[in-house]
Amino acid sequence: MKLPLILPSSKIWPLKIQILAYGSALLVCHNYIYVMPMVVQLGLFVAIMLLTGIPHGAIDHLVEEQNQSKHKLRFSLARFLSRYLSKMLLYGILWLMLPTVALLVFIGISAYHFGETDLASLPQEPKSEKNLFLSYGWLLVSILLATHLAEVVPILSSLPRLSDSSLDTAIVWLRQYQTQYLMACACWFLVSLAYYILRAKASFGVLLNVGMQGVVLMVVCAKLPLLLAFSFYFGLWHSLVCLQSIRQHLMQNGQLLTWNKLVKEAAFFSVIAILGISAIIILGNKYNQTPDVLLGLFIGIAILTAPHMEVMSNMFDELRTNAPKQPDGGLAV
């Protein structure tokens, strides 16, 4: 099965370059050629979430089985699912009881997960890489949120049990000190990067590729409307890069899994995940005085992806330990 307009195995146009090209083209198209109405943005967002966003986490059981296999451990699907669902349940309760805390937790672990994924090509350096991942991801998430306050605020305002005073204070502060805040996040990342460079043996070419990649990602995320920016980063960039890395992790007899087999493996749990998110949206709109489909979708994705991030972190540890790297700055796939 071939993904439309994407040639993941191409050595001329690596997957990452193609996705960055699509994002840049989308930015030019929306800002200078055709301003997409909200209904088109929402349709594109939902389509990408269904095609790549949700499915990229629907094969965590296969990833974890491979993780344990490489450490000569016995894998139990029943035990894995019970632990996975228990974490989702606990995190769902946290969203119900303490949404502000749940939101901060989600932003934090998402930032680390995004940083770990985007910087997976860098050589391992245990004493400095975790801070680098978090600082990079925090800068990316901060740009995504702080540059779209007008779109983010209505979504957050509909969170039940969220303190209006704390939310209003944070929003006023961000609006007043947005530039200073983003500069502080950028400084944290640059200091973390400098410390990493001092300790690791990363080639200049890899660092240059990662730096250029990060700049393009952040510019596209800042200049596109929130729905398009999130669709591009999470649905295209993050999900497809993760899926490509999963193909490498699940390599059989020296051969990458075909996209067709990967889609088939993800289909069942993708349907379950979609049904679960739909239930959250329906229940949330039933008991919330200000129904919001995007809020329900956001919380549903947050609950589903919380345990997913742990599985993927273990996978990236394996890949970064054992896999050779490509000249384009990505994991060898």
Asked if residue 332 belongs to a domain, the reply is no
Asked if residue 62 belongs to a domain, the reply is yes
The Cα–Cα gap between 116 and 114 comes to 5
Asked if residue 290 belongs to a domain, the reply is yes
Cα-Cα-Cα-Cα dihedral of 317, 321, 323, 324, to 10°? 130
Amino acid 69: pLDDT:
82
Amino acid 324: pLDDT:
55
Amino acid 285: pLDDT:
62
pLDDT in tens, the chain (333 residues): 344 433 344 444 588 888 999 999 999 999 999 889 988 998 888 888 888 888 888 888 888 888 888 778 888 889 998 999 898 889 888 887 888 888 888 889 999 999 999 988 788 888 889 999 999 999 999 999 889 888 887 777 766 655 555 666 777 778 888 889 999 999 999 999 989 988 887 777 778 888 888 899 999 999 999 999 999 999 889 999 888 888 888 876 566 777 777 777 888 888 888 887 887 777 766 655 444 666 777 788 888 888 888 889 888 888 777 655 444 444 443
Residue 280 is part of which domain span? 15-322
Sorted by sequence, the CB contacts under 8 Å of residue 328 that are 6+ apart come out as 14, 16, 17, 209
Q: How many CB atoms lie within 10 A of CB 15?
A: 21
Sorted by sequence, the CB contacts under 8 Å of residue 1 that are 6+ apart come out as 258, 259, 260, 263
Asked if residue 21 belongs to a domain, the reply is yes
Per the listing, tokens 């899926």 go with 243
Asked if residue 245 belongs to a domain, the reply is yes
Asked if residue 262 belongs to a domain, the reply is yes
Strand partners, 19: none
How many whole angstroms from its chain centre is CA 133? 13
How many domains does one find in the chain?
1
Asked if residue 328 belongs to a domain, the reply is no
Amino acid 228: pLDDT:
92
Asked if residue 7 belongs to a domain, the reply is no
Single pTM value for the model: 0.84
Amino acid 323: pLDDT:
53
Sorted by sequence, the CB contacts under 8 Å of residue 193 that are 6+ apart come out as 132, 135, 136
